[in-house]
Every structure is written in structure tokens, then in C-alpha cells.
Amino acid sequence: MRRITVLGVGYVGLVTGACFADLGNQVICLDVIPEKIEKLKRGELPIYEPGLEEMVQRNAAAGRLTFTTEYAEAISNAEFIFVAVGTPSGVDGEADLKYIRSAVENIAAHLKSYAIIVNRSTVPVGTGDSTAQTLIERGKKQGVDFQVVSNPEFTREGSAVYDFLNPDRVVLGSVDLHAAEAVADLYRVFTKNLMLTDLRTAEMIKYASNAFLAMKISFINEIASICEKLGADVKLVAQGMGMDARIGAAFLNAGLGYGGSCFPKDVKALTYMAEVNGLHPQLLRAVMDINRDQRRRVILHLRELLGNLRGKTIGLLGLAFKPNTDDIREAAAIDLAHMLANEGANLRAYDPVAMENAHQILDGVKFCNDAYQVAAGADAVVLVTEWNEFKQLDMPRLYASMARKIFLDGRNIYDPAEMRAHGFEYRGVGRPLNGAPHETLQPNDAAVAIT
């Protein structure tokens, strides 16, 4: 049993705290926002994350997981202090480190005995070194010893608990091997793939991994645009590519582009780090451009099908940046809502869990109770987030209620031939506009057999 403190109760911090408590460790989670801590003390979560609420309640009830807003209480007795505070984008795309600085100041002010500071927030390469220096200097004056370990997180929202408990790898960067080994011991139960390296390399592994995944998405989205023009079907192209073990099938789903709290921010921050060091990160810039274009293409399709969008009623299915989360940061739906509002369209939207968050930042959108209410009387429906409840919609019912029968499938979850058979003017992303040749093949044809 170790004494662990986690600073920040967002997706990363709360999952880290709950999972370590579940292993039997004594965990204190701190946040500076009192409402969040009050909620947690009542057993409610400030965020939506499948599986987390039950885990938090169970460990809180067992007395292994507590919550506080007081640094003195959280820091003074800790063996490990995990920093999981936000690092939002600054004006030029650089990571804004104000929350990290404040956390470091407070750690230095309250620590009474040796502790290992483990940074899980995504920070610019080099931050660990400077943090370590600040803390070690402060510690010397106070007679307290600190070590700093960088431990980037690779958990996806929506499956963060699963990802934490089943990591592909755990990366630990430090100048102090003993400190890195001590943190490694906390994780050994989850995986044997523990990588110990220096601080800067660990920080870079996080950026490079996220940028690579974002690049895969932008790559397949560019291929999708070419497919659309040439009459090929990107879903099958991705499937065919993904069978090559060197390429891999993951993150090759063409769609409306990536969103969320990590990819947009991290690709921007990596670009910034390269630029301020005199480099020209052309690939990273292209990744961001293509992602922006994916949203714009929806508007182009709608204009082509409906003409001027002023006064047209457009329905958005899904607001979260991906399914199983209430997070709308950098979500395609939010970009689309702004663009469509600029075009003068009337907007309706529905999302199973993200409407409360969307309500706070979107004006003039009619929030509906379900997908059918979104579609009733609409000129076009755009499927933005592939929630399970949108995967088996009653299409004849949807069709009957719409004014114009336009369905833009931004995540390619429906079969184009079936949608056209229902009577819809259907468009996916990177799928032939007038039906693919393979749609007319007989069932014993290879292309159909693998779909």
C-alpha cells in the first residue's frame, strides 16, 4: 500500500486516482475547484466516463479514496504526487503551463518529506527538466528531497478505465533511476511493457504518439476525398490497407476528423515547438489543415444538395467529440454548428450525454429529445458522432418525417446501398456519390464477402 496524491480530477487524474485506489493504495485527489470536490464527496462524478463512477464510489466507501481542495492535506504526507492538471492551448498553439506552475509551487510549499512527483499532464518537451530543477532547488533550501518522473498517459476518453488497467506500455522518464523504478512498481501489475528513459524522451513519446495517430486519421481522410472523386470506397480501402501488419487497421476510420482534448492541442503544440526551434513541420501542418477541411466539406456537400443554406433546417446527430463521452472540446459538431449558423441555417441537435455541455456554448440551437425529433421536418440530417443509439435508427420513420431526404453520414456507419434503397439522398465520407460498383456485385464476390 502506497500513499498517493493526484492533483486534478479531470479525465486523467480521476481515472489515475480511482485505479490506484482500486489496487489497495491510499489515494487523495485534489482539485482547486470546490464544486468538483463537493460532487465527488457525494459520490457524483464531475465528468462522464463509463465504469468510473462505480469504481470511485466503491473505493471512497472503503476509505481508500478521499477528496480535498487543501494542498496541505494532500501533499504533506504523500509518497507519490501525480500531477494531472490541464495544459490548455495558448494563443500560438503552445501549451499553457499556468496550472502546472501553480501545482509545482504548491507541492514545493507543502511537502515535508521525500516524494516522487509524477507528471501525467502533457507538457512541452523540457518541462520535466525545468520542473525538476525548480523543485530540487526549492527542496534543498527546505531540506526536503524531491524526484521528478514523467509518466505520459495514453488513455482514451470513453474507455479510460479499461486503458489504464490494460496499457500497451507504460513510459517513465527521469534523471533518477530509483524514482522511475519506484513508479514502475506501481504499474507492474498492469503490464510488463515498462519503458524507462530520460524526461525529454518520455515527453516526446507522448507528442509523437498522438501526432502519429492524428496523422493516420488525416491520411485516411485525404484518401477519402480522393476516393470520392475517383469512385472508390474508402471503408474498403482502409480495410484492405489495415490487413497489412505494417500499417494496422486502427485509426483508419475516415470521418469528420479528430477532436477532443488531446489530438488538436498536441499536434498544435508539437508544431509550435518545432517552429520556435527553426524547423518547418510540414507534415504536422498538413495534418491540421486536412482535419479542418473535413468539417468544411460537410458545408460544401450541403450547399451542393440544398443550395443556399439560409433558412434551411439542419439536424446534427451527436455533439460529443466521439461516443461514450460528454466531452465537446474541439468536437466536429461544435465546428459544424458554428459554420452552419454563419450560413444562416436553423439548427437542431441531439446527443445522449453531451447536451448539457453543448448548451453552455451553443446559441440558437434547438436541443431535441432524440434522433427522430431532430429529423422531423429537417432538410438534412448530419450524423456527427457514432453513438450506438444512432447505429440502428428506424430509417423508414426518419425518412417519412423529413422535409428533404438528405442524410450525411459523417462516420460511415450506414450501408450506402441500403440508405439509397430507403430513398435517402445519402452521402458518406469517401464513398462513391452515386453508389460504388461493388454495391452491385453478387454476394459471392470477394469485395462483398469481406464487408
User: How far is it, in rounded angstroms, from Cα 172 to Cα 12?
Assistant: 16
359 near 82, Cβ under 8 Å?
Answer: no
Among 157, 203, 233, 439, binds ligand UDX (CB under 6 A): 157
- List residues bridging with 172 in a β-sheet: 196
Work out whether 156 is an interface residue with ligand UDX (CB under 6 A): yes
Work out whether 147 is an interface residue with ligand UDX (CB under 6 A): no
- The distance of closest approach from Cβ of residue 84 to ligand UDX in the complex, given in angstroms and rounded to an integer, is 12
Would you call 262 a catalytic residue per the annotation? yes
User: How far is it, in rounded angstroms, from Cα 227 to Cα 432?
Assistant: 7
Name which of 74 and 284 has its Cβ closer to ligand UDX. 284
- The distance of closest approach from Cβ of residue 100 to ligand UDX in the complex, given in angstroms and rounded to an integer, is 17
- The distance of closest approach from Cβ of residue 411 to ligand UDX in the complex, given in angstroms and rounded to an integer, is 8
Name which of 235 and 322 has its Cβ closer to ligand UDX. 322
**Which among 102-110, 246-254, 282-290, 350-358 is the span making contact with ligand UDX, rule CB under 6 A?**
246-254
User: How far is it, in rounded angstroms, from Cα 320 to Cα 201?
Assistant: 32
**Which among 77-85, 154-162, 273-281, 438-446 is the span making contact with ligand UDX, rule CB under 6 A?**
154-162
Rg (CA), the chain: 24
* 413-427 burial code (b ≥16 CB/10 A, e <16): bbbbeebeeeebbbb
Per DSSP, the three-state class of 327 is coil
- The distance of closest approach from Cβ of residue 240 to ligand UDX in the complex, given in angstroms and rounded to an integer, is 15
Of all residues in the shown chain, the one whose CB is closest to ligand UDX is 262
User: How far is it, in rounded angstroms, from Cα 117 to Cα 122?
Assistant: 14
Please identify which of the residues 19, 29, 227, 262 carries the catalytic annotation.
Answer: 262
Number of residues that bind ligand UDX (CB under 6 A): 19
155 near 163, Cβ under 8 Å?
Answer: yes
Name which of 39 and 156 has its Cβ closer to ligand UDX. 156
In the range 255-274, which residues lie near ligand UDX by CB under 6 A?
A: 255, 258-260, 262-263
Among 251, 367, 372, 399, binds ligand UDX (CB under 6 A): 251
In the range 212-231, which residues lie near ligand UDX by CB under 6 A?
A: 213, 217
Name which of 233 and 379 has its Cβ closer to ligand UDX. 233
Q: What is the largest CA-CA distance in the chain?
A: 78
Map 165-206 to HEC letters: HCCCCEEEEECCHHHHHHHHHHHCCCCCCEEEECHHHHHHHH
Name which of 5 and 385 has its Cβ closer to ligand UDX. 385
Name which of 71 and 272 has its Cβ closer to ligand UDX. 272
- The distance of closest approach from Cβ of residue 336 to ligand UDX in the complex, given in angstroms and rounded to an integer, is 13
81 near 117, Cβ under 8 Å?
Answer: yes
User: How far is it, in rounded angstroms, from Cα 257 to Cα 297?
Assistant: 11
- The distance of closest approach from Cβ of residue 292 to ligand UDX in the complex, given in angstroms and rounded to an integer, is 13
**Which among 20-28, 87-95, 152-160, 298-306 is the span making contact with ligand UDX, rule CB under 6 A?**
152-160
Cβ-based neighbours of 327, under 8 Å, separated by 6 or more = 11, 47, 157, 260, 261, 320, 321, 354, 357
Q: What angle do CA 385, 388, 391 make, to 5 degrees?
A: 85
Q: E strands within 31-183?
A: 65-68, 80-83, 115-119, 146-150, 170-174
Cβ neighbours of 377 (radius 10 Å): 14
Work out whether 170 is an interface residue with ligand UDX (CB under 6 A): no
**Which among 43-51, 56-64, 254-262, 371-379 is the span making contact with ligand UDX, rule CB under 6 A?**
254-262
- The distance of closest approach from Cβ of residue 255 to ligand UDX in the complex, given in angstroms and rounded to an integer, is 4
Cβ neighbours of 399 (radius 10 Å): 16
Name which of 127 and 325 has its Cβ closer to ligand UDX. 325
Per DSSP, the three-state class of 104 is helix
Among 31, 49, 153, 351, binds ligand UDX (CB under 6 A): 153
Question: In Å, what is the CA distance from 391 to each residue of 126, 130, 283, 411, 432?
Answer: 44, 48, 34, 10, 21
Work out whether 253 is an interface residue with ligand UDX (CB under 6 A): yes
Name which of 75 and 270 has its Cβ closer to ligand UDX. 270
- Ramachandran sector of residue 239 (left: φ over 0; alpha: ψ -120 to 50; beta: rest): alpha
Among 78, 115, 252, 384, binds ligand UDX (CB under 6 A): 252
In the range 309-328, which residues lie near ligand UDX by CB under 6 A?
A: 321-322
In the range 350-389, which residues lie near ligand UDX by CB under 6 A?
A: none
Q: Evaluate the CA torsion angle 2, 140, 152, 159 in order and state its sign.
A: positive
Name which of 252 and 302 has its Cβ closer to ligand UDX. 252
**Which residues are known catalytic residues?**
262
Residues near ligand UDX, by CB under 6 A = 153-157, 210, 213, 217, 251-253, 255, 258-260, 262-263, 321-322
